[in-house]
Structure 1
Amino acid sequence: MALLQFISAGLPKTAVPTTIHSDHLVVTEHGGDADLENASSACKKYDIGYWQAGSGILHIIVLENYAFPGGLIIGTDSHTPNASGMSMLGIGVGGSDAVDAMAGMPWEILCPNIIGVRLTGTLSGWSSSKDIVLKLAGMLTVSGGRGKIIEFFGPGTQSLSATAMATVCNMSAEIGSTSCIFPWEESMDLYLRATGRDFVADAAQQNCNLIKADKGSEEYYDEVLEIDLETLEPHINGPFTPDLSHPLSQFADDVQKSSWPKNISQAMVGSCTNSSYEDLTKVVNMVREAESAGLKPKVPFLITAGTEKIRATIKAEGNLDELESAGATILSSSCGPCVGHWAQEGASEHVPNSVISSYNRNFTGRHDGNPETHSFVTSPELTTAFAYHGKAFKFTPPKSKELPRSFAPGEALYQAPASTEDSADVRVTIDPNSDCLQRLKPFRQWQLGNALSMTVLAEVKGKCTTDHISPAGPWYKYRGHLENISNNLLTGAENAFLSRSNGESLQARGQAINRLDHSIDTIPQVAKAYKDREVRWCIIGDDNYGEGSSREHAALEPRFLGGIAVIAKSFARIHETNLKKQGILALTFAEASAWDSVEATDVVSVMDVESIRPGQQLVMKVGRADGTYWHTPLNHTYHQGQIPWLMEGSALNHVKRLRGQAADA
């Protein structure tokens, strides 16, 4: 979608080095081959590097090829901080933010606070780098890092490998942090040289004092936490949220008390968080130990190598064959089940079950679309142990190999940017009959007026991630077709208007009351009915609305279907920006209790929107069905440079206008 937005901006080429990665979409169906060819030709046209399907997961490819100490990288995925394991500041953004950078325009972010996390001691036994961030998620919660960068320091950082540090930074996204960073360590030098970047390692060594914290920096952190690696227990987090943290010693009791399904139905190792060479060597050693005892996995055991290079390396070493002969299934080097590319048996029947993985997110229905799947996240080694769970066997603490002697190149799946001469004649065509790709049309400019009156489409109750707003899985094939993917808007969210009336939260998911005829239909269908009748509507959201993935479809879809505002108790950082970029008014209740007072039949009006100013509250006037009114103040975070996005209908409209003015000058 970022590429489609860039194309619609009408620029000849990108202004900064840019790559596109086909890691979320590997199964090419319903014309997918043609769509991937379109991505390839667009990359040739606009001077963009293209990593083809099967080449690997974006963040591992970045670590292997692009990450360097002291740099800054932005990516249209919330786990971009994975690059911060190389002492590079990686920040996840929405597609519109990426388009700004691609177009050579300034990219901005609020100045963050800094949380310092002091690490002491050394990991041992079953504890791993994953446990650092699993524990931290329990300490800070999914919103505790909002507007903050987490900086690790202390003697414990010296004992971690580069990929271990990347794991910690990667999952910092689940704490809502802007990014995460480690200081320069010698393990980074080893990784750079192992991946063929000696010149980067040499430059980093010469300037390493610039990429370490100054002495006495601890007193300048806004908050300081401490984790002792010597006493750190293995952790398992979940279900349904990555901040529900259980030390292994308490896990069995927590399962019993909560009546979660006790039997594991799937065990999965991989994702951008835990699919490194080092991670897989731990799994290999554990499987080898189980094989020597004559044991096979008790449940389906799925394993993903982070990149084609890692897959080819463990293949060359004979480890891949060992895993397959032991009963594991090796998946393509992609995001796979982590983003819902997985057909688990029983998912469509909503059978209660538990799965365990080394992934990063475990939101309701994320992996298989089943709201009854209880997903738990942990380390690769504990995931492997659970694959054999129930057998009378005790593993020894797993050993790992940090890096191979050399990485095997694997299959060549990278398309380098074309030269200007070669790209001049490249045509980018989009089949008008495609179900998966659709040219973007500019959104119309709003006519805001003094009072912006709206029907409330839904009042979203509880956790509402971007997976709830725009589910992934089978919908991914429509990522480039805004009209089709809009059919999933809020289908995973609970509408408080309905759950209050019938008491059934599951029945209230994805449903809304159509105020035109008082029928109950899916939220997308009701939104379409309002759009057809030019009824303006808004969404009322709960705390941390839009957490999780940077998926901008969660902002594009309501805009496409005629939504004009989202009013929430609070927003996740990336989603709030995405809403603003698409011309949707993003507001928060100054008084959180007002959320409980909104009723299904209310008409809400935001007063004086045309006069919006940075730092000034707005007022929401709520009209009851009985003719009475009440008022509540609303906050916003718009600064002067963002207000034109709202007034002109979208940030892209604003960019086009500025570009037109520059061309006329």
Structure 2
Amino acid sequence: MAINNSVDSFSAHDTLTVGDESYEIYRLDAVPGTEKLPYSLKVLAENLLRTEDGANITKEHIEAIASWDPSADPSVEIQFTPARVIMQDFTGVPCIVDLATMREAVGDLGGDRQKVNPLAPADLVIDHSVIADLFGTADAFERNVEIEYERNGERYQFLRWGQGAFDDFKVVPPGTGIVHQVNIEYLASVVMTRDGVAYPDTCVGTDSHTTMENGLGVLGWGVGGIEAEAAMLGQPVSMLIPRVVGFKLSGERRPGVTATDVVLTVTEMLRKHGVVGKFVEFYGEGVSEVPLANRATLGNMSPEFGSTAAIFPIDEVTIDYLRMTGRDEQQLALVEAYAKAQGMWHDPSREPKFSEYLELDLSDVVPSIAGPKRPQDRIALDDAKSAFRKDIHNYVTNGNPAPETKLDEAVEETFPASDPATLSFADEGSVPLHSAAVNAEGRPTKPVTVRSDERGQFVLDHGAVAIAAITSCTNTSNPEVMMGAALLAKKAVEKGLTTKPWVKTTMAPGSQVVTDYYDKAGVWPYLEKLGFFLVGYGCTTCIGNSGPLSDEISAAINENDLSVTAVLSGNRNFEGRINPDVKMNYLASPPLVIAYALAGTMDFDFEHDALGTDEQGNEVFLKDIWPTQQEITDTIASSINQEMFRKNYADVFKGDDRWRNLPTPSGDTFEWDPKSTYVRKPPYFDGMPAEPQPVTDISGARVLALLGDSVTTDHISPAGNIKAGTPAAQYLDEHGVDKANYNSYGSRRGNHEVMIRGTFANIRLKNQLLDDVSGGYTRDFTSDDAPQAFIYDAAQNYAKQGTPLVVLGGKEYGSGSSRDWAAKGTSLLGVRAVITESFERIHRSNLIGMGVIPLQFPAGESAASLKLDGTETFDITGIEALNEGKTPKTVHVTATKSGGDTVEFDAVVRIDTPGEADYYRNGGILQYVLRNMLKAN
């Protein structure tokens, strides 16, 4: 939002004339010192300058950022006011649910309900709900969209209500594209104008990959839905002026190296360096050589580095991209004139000071993949086969039967045993379940013969590629890698190669523009020949919406405990995320996704292993079908034009007949359907007093979960399938929902009853309170024998006894998606504190936003080093100091073991800013905002 300031201590208010238009601006050169700042901090400085009010934002704040010390640790809190908010439907639906609930709560407490209305423009793109149920056929897209509406019609009606009930809130309908690709191709303006004021386009979003806009020079990042709601309602984002890491790009890529390979290399480097809570800014002569699409790919992966943002400054490349994507000439002129007037135009001869420095010579980058479970675990393609052979041992238990759990039973219900006629063992059933033979090279192997009516007979083994998916805005926004994949498909077909019959092949571009340039280039027939038919415009496989594998393949995998793989052109490959049948997931460029579909296995060396033979019987290797850079460049030049973008975004909010014909509720408040299993009124404001109650210390708490390192928000709040037999499924059963219509956790985020039951329900979660058990289980200490129980069931028992709960974790707790339900679910289960070795940025702030205190073990200590096994009772004292307006640096923790022995330590309080302390004192950020609204009446 523009927000004209009322103070202007530096007399920065001025006029900028561009052509025949004049704009009000707040000039940075009015503030001494700002000329030396990195680009990203200049954007923050302008934000403060324009919104200075003498109270929340003061002259001293502006001077603090102007005199920023690159070497200092962050200590100065500022209030950043983003210009707009962007959401996707998984995270956006609960946002609008919360706003609708807040509107009622304000009215119930005697306030003005219309105060609950976006003050900053908010856009929601429906892109996370399409599932690749059908694939490999010409009608896959149309059928998947039909199924999407059948599953999600109730949610979509609710969003259409919100579009009418709230001002400045727009919805991009299903089947249009992926939120971040729509953002960079259409929604982002780089320089915004509102009420006659021109200012940098800044944007926070309810998806961690909002940082894709950083490639355009738009500063913004992912926040939890609860923070996004507050931003929509005019609440600034409380933050410390960050350290900024300068990342210099130099040299040129070798032939055959893609933007994906570069970003996987950068991800590995920055994760290893450590950039959590920092800005990353690309600089130097090499910046101008990086195409905008590649910049967007790098920005997109910022959450995988761990950084808050990963930004490029504005330059000619930015302007060329804006022109190519159909922005009007006046806007282009404004962007250039504004950037130059504010010292934000890239000038490599004037390099700013940074807090830390890294450099990558692009000529050092080699073709790469990442996996099998984290984006930062890069593997050079040359080493992929040997790396797989090493990793497969972690997924195969030689001769040791795995313990059966209730989750196994749930899986068996979901994937029933196939008819014996369709499944047989390669060696007449002599290989026992949960064991594996070892081949001559030492790789575990368990070949299983599968007979399929559609695909014939074939052999599945550990490492088989069960899913090959071109998916995710990370790469589908990049014409270079998308056209590279299409040309590789063309050459493969011309050589007579085919994809393996057990591979589920899907194509889900991030916008309809991709379809247009594929059509113009004439490459669709080759992709379809290899099975890569269009399945939808949305996240699909990257978010876990890969859809089911065919029955016979799923049965073979589950009955024989095969460790099969997925290869996807996405940004996330966490355990349990992609598909419940698939244990090992690898990120790769779109051309390599097709290459692995041709190979059919991860146990493959592209340099030495042939993909097949041509008509003459000659072996065909990957190098024989890999397109040259010139071929890709020439095809792009002849196939992509400005008109494609203008045509596809001309009526972007209009939607198809299905969208326009949805029955739409009306009214300022929503009429909740008590029978709904998708959208329910949440309990956050039930019984909330107008004034906050004092915060209290924690006494007699039990451990709900003892977790290890790299626990992601996917582990805490999964987005994927709801398994039969689990608490969420039991709830749906009780409400008359057939198993076939369970849908996913992501699609049911508007129903807190489902989401509470799904918290800590990831099938790969390892709760160390139990031995060798995966899934949403814990020990229930409300019973003397502390039996194994579902986490949800145990939490309900603790609640009945009035027992508070804590969660213990390791390093990088809460990494991954900006999933507010990971914090909401934690809070609603009764967890008062989470104690870890370290937190990822977004989840830490989300916990505070839900009234859960984030604590860290003393430096160098952990649950293991302190000999905590999770059976202890916890007392935490010192929290009450927050009632006095002070945030203690530490609180005292006493863990009492069953025999009476105690472990005591001082835990670091990770409430990092005074604003966060206000949120915690109020029981959460939404309660804080609501009370402020009441005071403003």
CA distance in 2, matches of 1:415, 1:557: 34
Q: 1:426 to 1:382 in 2, by over 3 A?
A: same
Quick one: distance in 2 between partners of 1:76 and 1:633? 34
Alignment of 1:137-536 (within 5 A): 137-141=267-271, 144-198=274-328, 199-209=330-340, 210-213=343-346, 220-259=353-392, 261-276=462-477, 278=479, 279-298=481-500, 299-315=503-519, 318-342=522-546, 343-344=548-549, 345-346=553-554, 351-370=562-581, 373-389=583-599, 390-391=611-612, 392-393=619-620, 394-398=624-628, 399-400=632-633, 401=636, 404-405=640-641, 406-407=643-644, 409-410=647-648, 412-415=651-654, 425=667, 428-442=670-684, 448-473=695-720, 474-492=744-762, 493-499=765-771, 504=772, 507-517=773-783, 518-536=786-804
Residue 915 of structure 2 aligns to a residue whose secondary structure is: coil
2:847 is aligned to: 579
Equivalent in 867, 873, 877 of residue 603 of structure 1: 873
Map Cα deviations across residues 147-205 of structure 1 (whole Å, 9 max, x no partner): 11111122322222211110111012101110111122433222211222133322223
C-alpha RMSD of matched pairs (Å): 2.5
Distance 2:849 2:710 in 1: 23
Tell me whether 1:640 sits opposite 2:914 in the alignment: yes
Task: Determine the C-alpha separation between the residues in 1 that align with 2:274 and 2:589.
Answer: 22
Change (3 A) 1:239 1:113: same
Q: How does 1:650-661 map to 2 (within 5 A)?
A: 650-661=924-935
Q: Compare 257-266 and 327-336 and name the one that shifted more.
A: 257-266
1:627 pairs with 857, 881, 900, which one? 900
2:137 aligned residue: none
Q: Within 1, Cα distance between the matches of 2:160 and 2:495?
A: 48
Question: Following TM superposition, by how much is the alpha carbon of 1:599 offset from its aligned partner in structure 2, in angstroms?
Answer: 2.7
Deviation of 1:423 (Å): 11
**Cα distance in structure 1, aligned partners of 2:311 and 2:212:** 9
Taking the aligned partners of 1:274 and 1:585, their CA distance within structure 2 comes to 37
1:196 aligned counterpart, secondary structure: coil
- Quote the Cα distance in structure 2 between the aligned partners of 1:63 and 1:468: 30
Question: How far apart in 1 are the matches of 2:834 and 2:353?
Answer: 36
Map of 2:835 onto structure 1:
567
Q: Distance in 2 between matches of 1:117 and 1:212?
A: 17
% identical equivalent positions: 26
Distance 2:674 2:257 in 1: 53
- Higher mean C-alpha displacement, 613-622 vs 456-465: 613-622
Which one-letter code corresponds to 1:276 in the other structure? S
Listed one character per residue, the Cα deviations across residues 454-487 of structure 1 (whole Å, up to 9, x for unaligned) are 1111111232100000111221221111111221
- Tell whether the 8 Å contact from 1:310 to 1:407 is kept in structure 2 after alignment: no
Deviations, residues 13-57 of structure 1 (Å, cap 9, x unaligned) = 210110112111135377521221111111221121101111111
Question: Where does structure 2 lack aligned partners over 5 or more consecutive residues?
Answer: 1-93, 104-114, 131-146, 191-199, 394-461, 600-610, 613-618, 656-663, 721-743
Report if the CA contact (8 A) 1:46-1:423 is conserved: no
Summarize the Cα distance change of 1:155–1:637 in structure 2 as closer, same or farther, 3 Å threshold.
same
Query: Which secondary structure does the structure 2 equivalent of 1:44 belong to?
Result: helix
Residue 814 (structure 2) pairs with residue 546 (structure 1): yes
Structure 1 residues 467 and 99 mapped into 2: Cα distance closer, same or farther (>3 Å)? same
Aligned partners of 1:356 and 1:377 also within 8 Å: yes
Structure 1 residue ranges without an equivalent (≥5): 417-421
Amino acid at match of 1:310: V
Distance 1:375 1:558, change over 3 A: same
Q: How does 1:17-96 map to 2 (within 5 A)?
A: 17-26=121-130, 27-28=147-148, 32-47=152-167, 48-69=169-190, 70-96=200-226
Shift of 1:588: 0.9
Give yes or no for the alignment of 1:9 onto 2:102: yes
Give the whole-Å Cα distance in 2 for the aligned partners of 1:620 and 1:215.
51
CA distance in 2, matches of 1:641, 1:98: 15
Distance across 2 between alignment mates of 1:30 and 1:351: 33
Tell me if structure 1 keeps the 8 A contact 2:284–2:348. Answer: no
Q: Distance in 1 between matches of 2:287 and 2:698?
A: 55
CA-CA distance at 1:450 after TM superposition: 4.5
- Contact 2:717–2:821 (CA<8 Å) still a contact in 1? yes
Mapped to 2, the partners of 1:111 and 1:89 lie a distance apart of: 14
Q: Distance in 2 between matches of 1:98 and 1:541?
A: 26
**Distance in 2 (alpha carbons) for counterparts of 1:153 and 1:234:** 24
Q: Is the 8 A contact 2:217 2:312 kept in 1?
A: yes
- The alpha-carbon distance between structure 1 residues 28 and 327, as it changes in their structure 2 partners (threshold 3 A), is closer
Deviations 1:358-394 (A, max 9, x none): 1111100111124x52111121122222222232322
The 1:427–1:509 alpha-carbon spacing in structure 2 relative to 1, beyond 3 Å, is: closer
Q: What count of residue pairs does the alignment treat as equivalent?
A: 652
| Counterpart contact for 1:116–1:218, Cα < 8 Å | no
The alpha-carbon deviation at position 614 of structure 1 amounts to: 2.7
| Residues 293 and 237 of structure 1, relative CA distance in 2, 3 Å threshold | same
Residue 549 (structure 1) shift: 0.2
Query: Cα distance 1:131–1:521, how it changes in 2: closer, same or farther (>3 A)?
Result: same
- Which amino acid is 1:516 matched to? T
In 2: Cα distance, 1:432 partner to 1:142 partner? 49
- The Cα of 1:280 is off from its aligned counterpart by 2.3
* C-alpha deviation, 1:646, in angstroms: 2.3
The alpha-carbon deviation at position 213 of structure 1 amounts to 4.8
Determine if contact 1:452/1:609 at 8 Å carries over to the other structure.
no
Q: Partners of 1:558 and 1:424 in 2: how far apart?
A: 33
Counterpart amino acid of residue 909 in structure 2: H
- Tell me, in whole angstroms, the C-alpha distance in 2 between the residues paired with 1:576 and 1:202: 40
- CA spacing shift, 1:18–1:360, aligned 2, 3 Å: same
Give the AA of the match of 1:52: P
Partner of 1:419: none
